[in-house]
Amino acid sequence: MSRSAHPAGPRHADVLPEGHYSAPPADLNTLDEKVWSRTVSRSAEGIATVGGIEVTRLAEEFGTPAYFMDEADFRARCKAWRDAFGTDADVFYAGKAFLSRAIVKWLYEEGLNLDVCSGGELATALSAGMPAERIAFHGNNKSEEEIERAVSVGVGRIVLDSFQEIVRVAHIADRLGKRQPVQIRVTVGVEAHTHEFIATAHEDQKFGIALAGGQAAEAVRRALKLDGLELIGIHSHIGSQIFDMAGFEVSARRVVQLLAEVRDEHGVELPEIDLGGGLGIAYTSDDDPREPHEIAKALGEIVTRECESAGLSTPRISVEPGRAIVGPTAFTLYRVGTVKPLEGLRTYVSVDGGMSDNIRTALYDAEYSVALVSRTSDAEPMLVRVVGKHCESGDIVVKDAFLPSDLAPGDLIAVPATGAYCRSMASNYNHALRPPVVAVNDGAARVIVRRETEEDLLRLDVG
Ligand code: LLP
């Protein structure tokens, strides 16, 4: 995930320290459209705006830190994915990236389906009116209660992750007098080029049933025998924040191979394959993500080709993008509290949030960009590390970036591309109050997840 250090001219220090940064950008005031959501730009006064509203006004009204989500961008991305895959394929938004009732409504309106992986996500989806048949239920250790609820409400599919779960879901469906549509999640043995903790298709990890050694074929054998299950297809998810399509191609090829084996052994052509999510987004100007239509084309071609050569009719394809839809649509707005230059190293910029609203840098060594957004500046760039207010030195939001050297307490800075896996992985570490998510659209802003309060924290503390 890291870029190599790039030689840069002497700036803040005589010699720049080791780090994962490129040379300072030519103009620190430019908001690169690669990493900022669609409606972000600067006003005539130099203040960044989203949906036509200045961030200074947003900070005044909603406080900081806060996530601001560009609704028009979210809807446009949903539409791009839906249009790219067309009517012969299904797009399931992966709710783990970020889920709220407003999101569920937008997904519904834009014609997407939803992947949930817990009872909580299922409850959110149902409470916002997502029809159960448009929901896929995931997870490597779903509880009996979760399965029972999913089967009773009639979710469109449950993705089975183990031999025990095949039996568990079948029994529950029997008991409820239902026949539950299911897919079997397989591990295809692909090493996706991403961080170890977010790669999921190599064999030594907890998800899925291995194709290797005939495990997946055995899972199919067992599922086909059980009356409570309607086996509709095979599922594979190879990891997350992936740019290289090669892993998806191998995955598609191996899944189609399994479909051919199933046809040969059982005389059954399973009608669907799901190739999971995992498409990468731009966190910095150096990242070059694929567009949905390129992804749809590449996946469609490989599945069609493999099926033709195996003499199978092409199954219905589904995909589960989470990050690629919501990631680029939001930024986190922080207020600078302190600016601490460390001679010969870098300048530490402390903001009013931190690892409680974005754990990704600490957890995956993730890279982010940052910009001064409450004004422009012509000051020299300085190498900074943006850190939070938590009690540990690993509390880093942006490891290496450049900000203008006249940055001062009270300035607003924003970190783009924080729509995915930031609010959804936020914590109350140090009893931090989790920030709100504010949807901005066409000159209007509204809270879709409110800021936590001390009362919220104390309500759970019943000792
Ligand atoms: N489908 C399945 C079965 C998944 O497990 C995931 C993500 C997705 C779809 C969506 O993947 P996406 O398109 O969002 O990459 N917390 C990590 C990412 C964990 C992803 C887990 N599964 C991060 O912050 O990078």
CATH number, domain at 265? 3.20.20.10
| Same domain assignment for residues 233 and 299 | yes
Domain assignment of residue 131, yes or no: no
Q: How far apart are CA 245 and CA 263, in angstroms?
A: 27
| Same domain assignment for residues 177 and 35 | no
How many residues are given for the chain?
Answer: 463
Q: Which residues of the chain have pLDDT under 70?
A: 1-22, 191-202
Q: Among 116, 138, 240, 319, which is best to mutate for testing ligand 1, by the most ligand atoms less than 8 A from CB?
A: 240
Cα-to-centroid distance, 97 and ligand 1 (Å): 7
Domain assignment of residue 66, yes or no: yes
Cα-to-centroid distance, 240 and ligand 1 (Å): 5
Q: Would you say the CB of residue 352 lies under 6 angstroms from ligand 1?
A: no
Q: Would you say the CB of residue 121 lies under 6 angstroms from ligand 1?
A: no
User: Tokens 């919501």 correspond to what residue?
Assistant: 326
Q: Which range marks the domain in which residue 359 is found? A: 13-70+328-460
Q: Do residues 374 and 56 touch, judged by C-beta distance below 8 A? A: yes
Tell which of 279, 304, 321 closes a domain.
Answer: 321
End-to-end CA distance of the chain: 43
Q: Among 161, 196, 207, 323, which is best to mutate for testing ligand 1, by the most ligand atoms less than 8 A from CB?
A: 323
| Same domain assignment for residues 66 and 206 | no
How many structural domains is the chain composed of? 2
| Same domain assignment for residues 425 and 402 | yes
Domain assignment of residue 106, yes or no: no
Domain assignment of residue 75, yes or no: no
Q: How far apart are CA 361 and CA 355, in angstroms?
A: 8
| Same domain assignment for residues 150 and 271 | yes
Q: What CATH code is carried by the domain that includes residue 39?
A: 2.40.37.10
Which pLDDT score is estimated for 3? 38
Q: Which residues are catalytic?
A: 391
| Same domain assignment for residues 282 and 316 | yes
Burial class (CB in 10 A: 0-12, 13-18, 19+), 157: buried
Nearest CA to ligand 1 atom 19: 198
| Same domain assignment for residues 312 and 336 | no
Tell which of 321, 338, 354 closes a domain.
Answer: 321
Which pLDDT score is estimated for 1? 37
Q: Per the structure block, which two tokens stand in for 414?
A: 């924003």
Q: Would you say the CB of residue 321 lies under 6 angstroms from ligand 1?
A: yes
| Same domain assignment for residues 152 and 283 | yes
Which pLDDT score is estimated for 460? 95
Q: Per the structure block, which two tokens stand in for 427?
A: 């914590």
Which pLDDT score is estimated for 194? 61
Domain assignment of residue 101, yes or no: no
Three-state secondary structure string covering the chain: CCCCCCCCCCCCCCCCCCCCCCCCCCCCCCCCCCCCCCCCEECCCCCEEECCEEHHHHHHHHCCCEEEEEHHHHHHHHHHHHHHHCCCEEEEEECCCCCCHHHHHHHHHCCCEEEECCHHHHHHHHHCCCCHHHEEECCCCCCHHHHHHHHHHCCCEEEECCHHHHHHHHHHHHHCCCCEEEEEEEECCCCCCCCHHHECCCCCCCCCEECHHHHHHHHHHHHHHCCCEEEEEEECCCECCECCCHHHHHHHHHHHHHHHHHHHHHCCCCCEEECCCCECCCCCCCCCCCCHHHHHHHHHHHHHHHHHHHCCCCCEEEECCCHHHHHHHEEEEEEEEEEEEECCCEEEEEECCCCCCCCHHHHHCCCCCCEECCCCCCCCEEEEEEECCCCCCCCEEEEEEEEECCCCCCCEEEEECCCCCCHHHCCCHHHCCCCCEEEEECCEEEEEECCCCHHHHHHHCCC
Which pLDDT score is estimated for 197? 57
Domain assignment of residue 282, yes or no: yes
Q: Do residues 159 and 183 touch, judged by C-beta distance below 8 A? A: yes
Q: Would you say the CB of residue 139 lies under 6 angstroms from ligand 1?
A: no
| Same domain assignment for residues 278 and 414 | no
Tell which of 281, 298, 321 closes a domain.
Answer: 321
Q: Would you say the CB of residue 374 lies under 6 angstroms from ligand 1?
A: no
Which pLDDT score is estimated for 79? 98
Which pLDDT score is estimated for 26? 81
| Same domain assignment for residues 211 and 269 | yes
Per residue in 294-326, pLDDT (tens digit) is 999 999 999 999 999 999 999 999 999 999 999
* CA contacts within 13 A on the Cβ side of 42: 17
Cα-to-centroid distance, 272 and ligand 1 (Å): 21
Long-range contacts of 169-173 (CB under 8 A, 24+ apart): 169/228, 169/229, 170/223, 170/226, 170/227, 170/228, 170/229, 171/228, 172/144, 172/147, 172/148, 172/228, 173/228, 173/229
| Same domain assignment for residues 56 and 160 | no
Domain assignment of residue 7, yes or no: no
Which pLDDT score is estimated for 279? 96
Q: Per the structure block, which two tokens stand in for 87?
A: 């009517």
Q: Which pTM was predicted?
A: 0.94
Domain assignment of residue 115, yes or no: no
| Same domain assignment for residues 244 and 337 | no
Q: Would you say the CB of residue 92 lies under 6 angstroms from ligand 1?
A: no
